[in-house]
């Protein structure tokens, strides 16, 4: 059995979409892969409560590793790597994991570390993507699943979804429209990663 480890910091709706797809499409049988663990750097991440309420919690290991407990970014990432590696991951999925990763972390998981970013990369790497797309007068926005490399939001593109930017859109309205698409393309991209 192959293993996926998902990292979250907050709502974890993309994590939930992946866990639900794994269940619904029987990834264990069809792809030989399971979500082994979900790790959060925040104790109060509501994604963890969702998991406990909506899944057989004995099947997916959950864990909190607070970055505030570590003196340096390097020390946190080293501890996180050791927690992740307990699950022998074939794929590490960043799902709203709000941390800048050290080169050591990115190198360690090269080729098996993916992220979803709420813009049509290479446009709007970084934060505040929706407001920036609105301010730029974009007619379309979207989301991108990509490999993670040492350059922020720049790895190989694995999947994208496009949504229209509507007249009078707020960043919140656009974010919600994009998020519905994220929930479709992220599970699909994870499944595609394991398809022969």
Give me the residues that bind ligand GRF (CB under 6 A), please: 8, 10-14, 95-96, 116-118, 143, 179, 182
- Would you say 13 or 102 has its CB closer to ligand GRF? 13
Buried b (16+ CB within 10 A) or exposed e, 104-126: ebbebbeebbbbbbbbbbeebee
Please say if 154 is a catalytic residue: no
For residue 133, the minimal CB distance to ligand GRF (Å) is: 13
Q: How far apart are the first and last CA of the chain?
A: 15
Query: Can you tell me which residue has the tokens 């993507």?
Result: 129
- Would you say 78 or 123 has its CB closer to ligand GRF? 123
Q: How far is CA 159 from the centre of its chain?
A: 13
Kindly name the residue from 87, 117, 130, 183 that is annotated as catalytic. 117
**Residue 154, helix vs strand vs coil:** coil
Q: How far is CA 106 from the centre of its chain?
A: 14
For residue 72, the minimal CB distance to ligand GRF (Å) is: 24
Instruction: Dig out the tokens for 189 from the structure.
Output: 């991209």
Instruction: Dig out the tokens for 29 from the structure.
Output: 């049988």
Cis before 96? omega within 30: no
For residue 29, the minimal CB distance to ligand GRF (Å) is: 26
- Would you say 89 or 142 has its CB closer to ligand GRF? 142
H or E element at residue 35: strand 33-40
> In the bound complex, which residue of the shown chain has the CB atom lying closest to ligand GRF?
96
For residue 182, the minimal CB distance to ligand GRF (Å) is: 5
Instruction: Dig out the tokens for 191 from the structure.
Output: 């499944």
Catalytic residue set = 117
């Amino acid at each position: 059995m192959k293993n996926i480890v998902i990292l979250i910091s907050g709502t974890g709706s993309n994590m939930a979409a992946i866990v639900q797809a794994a269940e619904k499409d029987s990834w264990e049988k069809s792809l030989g892969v399971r979500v082994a663990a979900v790790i959060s750097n925040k104790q109060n991440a509501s994604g963890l409560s969702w998991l406990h309420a909506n899944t057989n919690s004995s099947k997916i290991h959950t864990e909190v590793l607070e970055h505030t407990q570590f003196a340096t970014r390097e020390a946190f990432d080293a501890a996180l790597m050791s927690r992740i590696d307990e699950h022998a991951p074939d794929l590490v999925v960043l799902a709203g994991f709000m941390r800048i990763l050290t080169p050591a972390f990115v190198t360690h998981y090269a080729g098996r570390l993916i992220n979803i970013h709420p813009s049509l990369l290479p446009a709007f790497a970084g934060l505040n993507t929706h407001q920036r797309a609105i301010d730029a007068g974009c007619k379309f926005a979207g989301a991108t699943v990509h490999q993670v490399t040492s350059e922020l939001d720049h790895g190989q593109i694995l999947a994208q979804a496009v949504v229209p930017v509507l007249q009078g859109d707020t960043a919140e309205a656009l974010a919600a429209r994009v998020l519905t698409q994220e929930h479709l393309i992220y599970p699909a991209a994870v499944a595609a990663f394991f398809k022969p």
